[in-house]
Amino acid sequence: MSNGKNGQRLDEQSANLGTRDTPSGRPSAGRYVPPHMRNRSTETKDTSSSNTSTDQRSGDRNRDGGNSWASDDNSWGKEDDRQDRRDYRRDDRRDDARSNRNDTYSSEAAEDVSPLQNRRPNGWHNRNGSTSAIGWDSGKRTTRNEQWGGSRSDLIFSTSHNRSGGWSDRASSQTDRWNSARSRNSAYGSYSNRGIDEFGRKDEGYGSWSVDGTHIIAAKNSRLERDLFGCPDDPDRQHTGINFEKYDDIPVEASGNNVPQCVEAFTNPPLDAHLLTNIDLARYTTPTPVQKYSIPIVASGRDLMACAQTGSGKTGGFLFPILSELFKHGPPSTPPEPAGYSRGMARTRKAYPSGLILAPTRELASQIYEEARKFAYRSWVRPCVVYGGADIYGQLRNLERGCDLLTATPGRLVDLIERGRVSLSLIRYLVLDEADRMLDMGFEPQIRRIVEGEDMPDVHQRQTLMFSATFPRDIQILARDFLKDYVFLSVGRVGSTSENITQKIEYVEDEDKRSVLLDILHSQPETERGLTLIFVETKRMADMLSAFLIQHNFPATSIHGDRSQKERERALDSFRSARTTIMVATAVAARGLDIPNVTHVINFDLPTDIDDYVHRIGRTGRAGNVGLSTAFFNRGNKGIVKYLIDLLKEANQEIPSWLETVAREAAVPAGRPYKGRGGGRGQNRDYRKFGGSSERGGQGSAGNE
């Protein structure tokens, strides 16, 4: 691939676009005529906008003053174009400097800890010193571990000890485990004083678990409630994006041994009553298809592999049943902190979460955490989030205040485990979100380390749930290591791209991409405040393209891994709130992000992995709503053409005839078929049922385990 050369060409092209050639330095978007429109007579592209109308529109855009959008938080677009644009550029630089500085001090997570609430113990140990009542001697042992810095072998030793103590006998059913948890709980009473700070005040919004094993729900807190759930009148905060009428059309396929009967509503018998009040506050009325199944599956103690697009209620699919079980059964029995540990060493208190959710990007982790906060409201369960790029001390402080449900990205979690600030020994629920990404080459070693190489209970002592929009067969096989007798759930079409996304493929050479993009953006009606998400392959291209769009008066921002976390968050926030209606993104934004109102996804560069394509276009057309996807295709993308055509067929999309031609040309390029995934089919079906050819040795093909 002539990528470097390519980039140069694009630079030159941008210089020739008239963006820098006017003496005033004024971008001349209005006069720009796309080269491919001048040189080429016909293209497969939409010809609805002629050159003149394009010019007219962008001219108006410059003048009418109504476009007072901002790039990130810079507002501009007033009367004097020239002055404004200069100011803007300066502002942008200043702003970058400011944000870089910001990155060095506290994150939001740190800020929402009021200094007054910065109380000492969170109840992991009680102050009367009655901790000694813990029957067995692991207390001492764990203490020693701590003093020795918790070396690996010690951790493993104490884990096995924890397991036999805390979870009682291995053969016992889950209820037995919970019961033993409850009866032991009073022994150290760790959760009974959690709702109270050291001044005796209520720590608002959090409940507790009483000594005699009942759930104490905290008082309502209207300020927090507004913060979490929004005002009822504010349409922005309403939960939108779920098209309920379409729900029943979505097919669901469940396979595995003894699949539990699905539920049809949010009701008390399976779900905890307090969770229902929170679900109600969030204005969820009906379970989505994935929730209908995941609720009874998790409640009955089963593992789950779920294939469902995000926005189909995936997050609720694991949060609801997990929180419900935690509410019902209370905190674990094992003493999270041994007696006599507090003197002089209080700062190194460890968090012992009961649930762990792993996500592949920081933004996704943060999004899951925000949901967890909603549904854990007023309960004894404290959600926490940790991820890189943000101030670790704020995260540590939050962990110290108690952490029962931890959402994390792998790197930072490993860091915290190494620092001895998080223990996984009491994990009952493990969730891998975007599991196929978590188990692919880049992540698998870290995941294996967290799940198998630290102190996490083994597969039989925890419940493991995996969610993703795509589940390639080889990933399913890999995932067996982390699951036991799981139920496989497939929601939506087998190809997983639903028909409510209109997918257009256009043939565009690399050097024409920018001008075609401008045409598309210009021809979008400005009245609809829909968001446009543009995917590129490289971080560099993300920067270049967003700068290019800004030069052409489009409200654009960008998100990619080379931007600071502050910048990433700000870009996403600005996009979410429609202050910036265009976002250029790398793969970082491809998965899981739930951004309502993305009406158009543009694959400026197509990914080399068809699964990434599926995830990317899944940012639009969420939960039964319609969306549009446009992809720029050229010969460089012929590697995915076969899978792309299969996908389009499955989703009943129009297939341009030239695409079929490319497919024939590209047929069997004598290399290995795509990632060795057998024929590319069976992507989202239970491999145990639809096994297929190259089953690797050991396990038989179907149905066992």
Partner DNA sequence: AAAAAAG
Q: Which is nearer to DNA, 29 or 351 (CB)?
A: 351
Task: Give the pair of three-digit tokens for residue 424.
Answer: 């996984």
In the window 299-318, what residues touch DNA (CB under 7 A)?
none
Indicate which single residue of 360, 383, 592, 682 sits in contact with DNA (rule: CB under 7 A).
Answer: 360
Verify binding: residue 533, DNA, rule CB under 7 A. no
Q: Which is nearer to DNA, 56 or 446 (CB)?
A: 446
- The region of 66-74, 358-366, 373-381, 505-513 touching DNA under the rule CB under 7 A is 358-366
Q: Where are the beta strands (DSSP E) in 218-278?
A: 252-255
- The region of 81-89, 227-235, 264-272, 532-540 touching DNA under the rule CB under 7 A is 532-540
Task: Give the pair of three-digit tokens for residue 356.
Answer: 């762990």
Q: Which is nearer to DNA, 4 or 698 (CB)?
A: 4
Query: Backbone phi, then psi, for 142, in 5-degree steps?
Result: -65, -35
Q: Which of helix, strand or coil describes residue 426?
A: coil
> Which contacts qualify for 252-255: CB closer than 8 Å, 24 or more apart?
252/289, 252/290, 252/292, 252/293, 252/489, 252/490, 252/491, 253/489, 253/490, 253/685, 253/686, 254/293, 254/487, 254/488, 254/489, 254/490, 255/487, 255/488, 255/686, 255/688, 255/689
Structural contact between residues 470 and 597, judged by C-beta atoms closer than 8 angstroms: no
Give, in degrees to the nearest 5, the angle at Cα 248 between 242 and 254.
105
- Please report the DSSP string for 103-168 in residue order: HHS--HHHHTS-GGG--S--SSS-TT-GGGG-SSTHHHHHHHHHHTT--HHHHHHHHHHHHHHHT-
Q: Which of helix, strand or coil describes residue 202?
A: strand
- Binding mask 436-455 toward DNA (x if CB under 7 A, else -) reads -----xxx--x---------
- Binding mask 557-596 toward DNA (x if CB under 7 A, else -) reads ---xxx-----------------------xxx--------
Verify binding: residue 539, DNA, rule CB under 7 A. yes
Q: Which is nearer to DNA, 380 or 604 (CB)?
A: 604
CA distances from 1 to 5, 7, 287, 416, 539 (A): 9, 11, 47, 40, 17
Q: Which is nearer to DNA, 279 or 544 (CB)?
A: 544
Q: Which is nearer to DNA, 412 or 677 (CB)?
A: 412
Q: Which is nearer to DNA, 3 or 257 (CB)?
A: 3
Size of the site for DNA (CB under 7 A): 35
- Binding mask 598-637 toward DNA (x if CB under 7 A, else -) reads ----------xx----------------------------
Half-sphere exposure (Cβ direction) of 159: Cα atoms closer than 13 Å: 21
Verify binding: residue 237, DNA, rule CB under 7 A. no
**CA gap 97, 396 in Å, rounded:** 27
CB of residue 244 vs DNA: minimum separation in angstroms? 33
- Binding mask 3-22 toward DNA (x if CB under 7 A, else -) reads x-------------------
110, exposed or middle or buried, with CB in 10 Å at 0-12, 13-18, 19+? middle
Structural contact between residues 255 and 488, judged by C-beta atoms closer than 8 angstroms: yes
- The region of 207-215, 217-225, 554-562, 569-577 touching DNA under the rule CB under 7 A is 554-562
**CA gap 605, 79 in Å, rounded:** 36
Q: Which is nearer to DNA, 427 or 651 (CB)?
A: 427
- The region of 66-74, 254-262, 384-392, 490-498 touching DNA under the rule CB under 7 A is 384-392
- Binding mask 649-678 toward DNA (x if CB under 7 A, else -) reads ------------------------------
Indicate which single residue of 418, 481, 660, 705 sits in contact with DNA (rule: CB under 7 A).
Answer: 418
Indicate which single residue of 27, 139, 287, 389 sits in contact with DNA (rule: CB under 7 A).
Answer: 389
Q: Which is nearer to DNA, 32 or 482 (CB)?
A: 482
Q: Which is nearer to DNA, 441 or 668 (CB)?
A: 441
Verify binding: residue 479, DNA, rule CB under 7 A. no
Structural contact between residues 645 and 633, judged by C-beta atoms closer than 8 angstroms: no
CB of residue 470 vs DNA: minimum separation in angstroms? 15
CB of residue 537 vs DNA: minimum separation in angstroms? 6
Structural contact between residues 288 and 623, judged by C-beta atoms closer than 8 angstroms: yes
CB of residue 639 vs DNA: minimum separation in angstroms? 9
Indicate which single residue of 1, 171, 668, 670 sits in contact with DNA (rule: CB under 7 A).
Answer: 1
**CA gap 511, 524 in Å, rounded:** 22
Q: How far is CA 36 from the centre of its chain?
A: 38
Indicate which single residue of 211, 276, 414, 663 sits in contact with DNA (rule: CB under 7 A).
Answer: 414
Q: Which is nearer to DNA, 239 or 675 (CB)?
A: 675
**CA gap 146, 342 in Å, rounded:** 12
**CA gap 525, 57 in Å, rounded:** 10
CB of residue 657 vs DNA: minimum separation in angstroms? 28
Task: Give the pair of three-digit tokens for residue 589.
Answer: 């934004």
Task: Give the pair of three-digit tokens for residue 327.
Answer: 């509410």
- The region of 90-98, 248-256, 556-564, 690-698 touching DNA under the rule CB under 7 A is 556-564
As a dihedral over the C-alpha atoms of residue 226, residue 229, residue 232, residue 238, rounded to 10 degrees, the angle is 140
Q: Which is nearer to DNA, 325 or 434 (CB)?
A: 434
Task: Give the pair of three-digit tokens for residue 246.
Answer: 């379409």
CB of residue 391 vs DNA: minimum separation in angstroms? 9
Q: Which is nearer to DNA, 81 or 415 (CB)?
A: 415
Q: What residues contact 591, with CB distance under 8 A and at least 6 apart?
A: 310, 360, 361, 364, 434, 437, 469, 615
- 3-class SS shares of the chain: helix, strand, coil, % to 5: 45, 10, 45
CB of residue 342 vs DNA: minimum separation in angstroms? 28
- The region of 412-420, 509-517, 655-663, 686-694 touching DNA under the rule CB under 7 A is 412-420
- Please report the DSSP string for 470-485 in residue order: ---HHHHHHHGGG-SS
CB of residue 7 vs DNA: minimum separation in angstroms? 10
CB of residue 316 vs DNA: minimum separation in angstroms? 23
**CA gap 176, 186 in Å, rounded:** 17
CA-atom Rg of the chain in angstroms: 27
Q: Which is nearer to DNA, 122 or 558 (CB)?
A: 558
Indicate which single residue of 182, 412, 615, 642 sits in contact with DNA (rule: CB under 7 A).
Answer: 412
- Positions in the binding site for DNA (CB under 7 A): 1, 3, 360-363, 387-390, 392, 409-415, 418, 441-443, 446, 537-540, 560-562, 586-588, 608-609
